[in-house]
């Protein structure tokens, strides 16, 4: 399941992506726009800044902005940064591998084999989905349900 922290990180990145190329945004504005607790958002943004995804500027006119284009920030990167492994089992994780304590023969495990397929399918989508694509999807979905259109 996607953690609330990761969901908030993605929502904040989308706000910053829509603001890309403009002045940095203050935390309070992002928090209010997406209904994210300010203190929690501060931690999330700091983590993403330390990872090089965001840029921060102090003082008047300060705030946060994307350190790279929204097209270059992918969901897999954000999820790994905030939550760690994407795989549902530690024995199928690419970056956070751990063998399962109860497993006798990992190479002959039907559960593992199935969850390798799940991981691969999920990674394909997450590696191919950028913040820019999420923003565009949101625009399209809003347009599709807008009775004025």
> Distance (Å, rounded) from C-alpha 132 to C-alpha 98?
33
pLDDT at 95: 85
User: Per-residue pLDDT averaged across 20-26, rounded?
Assistant: 94
Q: Give the C-alpha separation, 53 to 65, whole Å.
A: 9
| Mean pLDDT for all residues in the chain | 91
Does residue 147 carry a pLDDT above 80? no
Which residue ranges make up each domain of the chain?
Answer: 4-66, 86-129
Structure tokens at 81: 């940064």
The encoded tokens of residue 124 equal 């394909």
Instruction: Give the model's confidence band at 73: pLDDT under 50 very low, under 70 low, under 90 confident, else very high.
Output: very high
Stretch 119-138: mean pLDDT, rounded?
Answer: 95
Question: How far is residue 41's CA from residue 95's CA, in Å, rounded to a whole number?
Answer: 26
Higher local confidence (pLDDT), 92 or 10: 10
Grade residue 104 by pLDDT with cuts at 50, 70 and 90. Answer: confident
**Cβ atoms of 24 and 58 closer than 8 Å:** no
Terminal-residue alpha carbon distance, the chain: 35
Confidence of residue 143 (pLDDT cuts 50, 70, 90): confident
Q: In a 3-state reduction of DSSP, which class is residue 16? A: helix
Residue 91, phi-psi category: left (phi > 0), alpha (psi -120 to 50), beta (remainder): alpha
pLDDT score, position 145? 66
Tokens 């913040």 belong to residue: 131
* Fold adopted by 4-66: Arc Repressor Mutant, subunit A (1.10.10)
pTM beyond 0.95: the answer is: no
> 103 pLDDT exceeds 90?
no
């Amino acid at each position: 399941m996607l953690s609330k922290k990761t969901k908030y990180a993605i929502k904040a990145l989308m706000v910053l992506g829509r603001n890309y190329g403009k002045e940095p945004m203050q935390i309070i504005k992002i928090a209010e726009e997406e209904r994210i607790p300010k203190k929690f958002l501060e931690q999330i943004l700091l983590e993403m800044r330390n990872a090089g995804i965001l840029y921060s500027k102090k003082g008047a006119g300060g705030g946060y902005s994307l350190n790279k284009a929204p097209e270059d920030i992918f969901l897999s990167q954000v999820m790994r940064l905030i939550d760690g492994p994407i795989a549902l089992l530690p024995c199928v994780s690419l970056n956070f591998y751990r063998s399962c304590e109860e497993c006798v023969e990992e190479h002959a495990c039907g559960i593992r084999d199935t969850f390798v397929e799940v991981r691969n399918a999920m990674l394909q989508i997450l590696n191919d989905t950028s913040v820019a694509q999420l923003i565009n999807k949101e625009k399209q979905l809003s347009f599709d349900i807008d009775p004025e259109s």
